[in-house]
Amino acid sequence: MIRPGEVQMADFAEAGPHPVIVLSREELCENLLSIDLSQLDLSDGPLGMLDDTFRDVIKAIGYVMDSDCEPA
């Protein structure tokens, strides 16, 4: 199971593997995009998990999208 706040590796065809932060719609990003689960390398599990920093990431994404985002 993938959880919000996990740091996973994703394979971007032309750019190669990059770490990504998992976000979710479960009631300062460099790039905000949706990727297919097949692009994640789940074989070794997550690289890590964000702690309270996850709340700051969500707020920063809300700022970039001009939206008031607050995680539950």
Q: Mean pLDDT throughout 27-36?
A: 69
Q: Are 40 and 34 in contact (CB under 8 A)?
A: no
Instruction: Tell me the whole-structure pTM to 2 decimals.
Output: 0.59
In this structure, the number of other CB atoms found within 10 A of the CB of residue 71 comes to: 16
Residue 45 in any domain: the answer is yes
Residue type, 46: P
Residue 72 in any domain: the answer is no
Domain range enclosing 34: 6-64
Strands, E, within the chain: which ranges? 6-12, 16-21, 48-49
| C-alpha distances out from residue 31 to 8, 10, 20, 21, 68, Å | 15, 13, 10, 11, 18
Q: Are 9 and 42 in contact (CB under 8 A)?
A: no
Q: What is the tens place of the pLDDT at every residue in 54-68?
A: 778 877 777 777 776
Residue 51 in any domain: the answer is yes
- pLDDT bucket at 27, cuts 50 / 70 / 90: very low
Q: What is the domain count for the chain?
A: 1
Q: What is the tens place of the pLDDT at every residue in 5-21?
A: 888 999 888 888 998 88
- Predicted pLDDT at 61: 78
Residue 35 in any domain: the answer is yes
